[in-house]
Amino acid sequence: MYISLFFAEEHKLSFICINSKPHKEIRKGKTGGLGLKNIQRRLELLFPGRYRLEITDEKKNIYGKFTNRIMNCIIVDDEPLAREAIELLIKETTQLNLVATFNNAVSAAEYIKTNPVELIFLDIQMPEVTGLEFAREVPKETLIIFTTAYTEYAIDSYEIDAVDYLVKPVELPRFRKAVEKAIAYYILLIGEKKENIEVMQDDFMFIKSERRYFKVEYKDILFVEGLKDYSIIQTKTNRIITRVNLKNLLEHLPRELFLRTTKSYIVNVNHIESFDNNDIYIGPYELAIGSSYKETFFEKYVMKGKKLR
Given a cut of 90, whether residue 231 has pLDDT beyond it is no
Q: Which residue has the higher pLDDT, 90 or 295?
A: 90
Q: Which residue has the higher pLDDT, 20 or 244?
A: 244
pLDDT at 212: 77
Round the average pLDDT of the chain to a whole number and report it: 77
Q: Which residue has the higher pLDDT, 104 or 8?
A: 104
The DSSP call for residue 127 is: S
Given a cut of 90, whether residue 67 has pLDDT beyond it is no
Q: Using one digit for the tens of pLDDT, what is the confidence trace for 187-218?
A: 766 654 444 555 566 788 888 777 778 888 99
Q: Are 253 and 265 in contact (CB under 8 A)?
A: no
Q: Of the ranges 54-63, 158-167, 264-273, which is most confident?
A: 264-273
Query: What is the Cα–Cα distance from 71 to 50, expressed in whole angstroms?
Result: 8
Please report, rounded to a whole number, the percentage of residues in the chain having pLDDT higher than 90: 28
For 251, residues 6+ apart whose C-beta sits below 8 A from its C-beta are none
For 167, residues 6+ apart whose C-beta sits below 8 A from its C-beta are 148, 149, 150, 151
pLDDT at 273: 92
Q: Which residue has the higher pLDDT, 211 or 304?
A: 211
Q: Which of 23-32, 53-62, 124-133, 149-158 has the lowest average pLDDT?
A: 23-32
Q: Which of 40-54, 152-166, 245-259 has the lowest average pLDDT?
A: 40-54
Q: Using one digit for the tens of pLDDT, what is the confidence trace for 81-91?
A: 999 999 999 99
Q: Which residue has the higher pLDDT, 140 or 239?
A: 239
Query: What is the Cα–Cα distance from 265 to 286, expressed in whole angstroms?
Result: 11
Given a cut of 50, whether residue 10 has pLDDT beyond it is no
pLDDT at 153: 63
pLDDT at 63: 53
SS3 content of the chain, % helix, strand, coil (to 5): 30, 35, 35
- Cα three-residue angle 294-300-301, rounded to 5 degrees: 90
